[in-house]
């Protein structure tokens, strides 16, 4: 067991992804299509944790998996990529989340099974938060675990929020979470939905009044950010091929977290994040051996 403090602890459910990639098209009902590659790996919220570990950060992960075949796959992937299993909630009675992903490179479809949800309460926080510099999670969990903000403040731990699309979610719902957050990273659709705006720049103008550092991801169009009264625009990093966009947003967050916690300038943070996310579309699933800090830095220099 790692004895010091983690750089980041991630909090989320995770799933075992079975990815059919390189498909000519996503099959219609009753039709069959063949994939060029088949990958079985960790997915969902695990992508950010795994990405951070591959970049060299010390990473813990609060998640839940079962003592089943797919839980074994995930535990093995965490060990392989250097994510600590210290805070993983594992039991015989738990079921592992599972997702079958079909990807054509430009489009994708999912069939998923919801397993046992992760738990986070004052008892778990007392084990986790004294052991980390920073907590990263999704807005969904901030709303689900209502004491999260207060617990982070109690233990002096900063936190950041990714977003997860929920058309019924309002900015009023999120505002108490966003004010204390280190940063918030919705994608363009999420930003527009939350603010009711039809233009990303206007959406950013609304969100920056709710959180001190907002980064809106825009896929192939890069990202748009606001911090300390300044607006930043960074292009996506150029890549030679798009294999699978699954997990690219999570790896964007991994690159941003890594650079942010090193105290690098905002433009460097955004370029690192953009390069990390762009590198993520060049392989199937949330991770590949080609993903590492040197590759991310090299790609960031091309932006």
Q: Which of the four pLDDT bands, split at 50, 70 and 90, describes residue 164?
A: confident
pLDDT in the model for residue 104: 84
pTM: 0.93
- Mean pLDDT confidence for 130-156: 96
First to last CA, the chain: 39
- Mean pLDDT confidence for 17-43: 91
The string of pLDDT tens digits covering residues 86-127 is 999 999 999 999 999 898 877 888 999 999 999 999 999 999
The string of pLDDT tens digits covering residues 41-54 is 998 899 999 999 99
- Mean pLDDT confidence for 253-265: 97
126, 186, 206, 179 alpha-carbon torsion, rounded to 10°? 10
Q: What is the DSSP string of 123-138?
A: HHHHHHGGGBSEEEEE
Q: Which of the four pLDDT bands, split at 50, 70 and 90, describes residue 39?
A: confident
For the chain, the farthest-separated pair of C-alpha atoms sits apart, in whole angstroms, at: 54
């Amino acid at each position: 067991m790692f004895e010091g403090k983690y750089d980041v602890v991630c909090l989320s459910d995770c799933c075992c992804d079975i990815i059919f990639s390189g498909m000519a098209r996503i099959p219609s009902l009753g039709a069959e299509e063949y994939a060029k590659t088949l990958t079985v790996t960790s997915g969902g919220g695990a992508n950010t944790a795994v990405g951070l570990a591959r970049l060299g950060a010390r990473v813990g992960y609060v998640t839940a998996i079962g003592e089943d075949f797919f839980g074994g796959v995930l535990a093995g992937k965490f060990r392989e990529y250097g994510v600590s299993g210290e805070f993983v909630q594992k039991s015989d009675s738990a079921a592992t989340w599972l997702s079958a992903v079909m990807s054509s490179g430009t489009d994708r479809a999912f069939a998923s099974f919801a397993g046992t949800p992760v738990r986070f309460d004052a008892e778990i926080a007392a084990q986790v938060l004294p052991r980390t510099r920073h907590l990263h999670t999704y807005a969904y969990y901030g709303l689900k675990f209502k004491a999260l903000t207060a617990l982070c403040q109690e233990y002096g731990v900063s936190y950041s929020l990714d977003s997860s699309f929920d058309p019924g979610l309002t900015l009023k719902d999120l505002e108490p979470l966003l004010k204390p957050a280190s940063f918030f990273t919705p994608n363009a659709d999420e930003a527009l939905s939350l603010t009711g705006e039809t233009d990303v720049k206007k959406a950013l103008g609304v969100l920056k009044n709710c959180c001190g550092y907002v980064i809106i991801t825009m896929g192939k169009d890069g990202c748009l950010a606001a911090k300390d009264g300044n607006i930043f625009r960074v292009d996506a990093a150029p890549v030679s091929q798009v294999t699978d966009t699954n997990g690219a947003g999570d790896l964007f967050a991994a690159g941003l977290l890594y650079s942010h916690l090193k105290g690098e300038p905002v433009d460097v943070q955004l370029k690192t994040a953009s390069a990390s996310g762009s590198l993520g579309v060049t392989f199937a699933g949330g991770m590949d051996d080609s993903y590492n800090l040197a590759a991310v830095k090299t790609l960031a220099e091309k932006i």
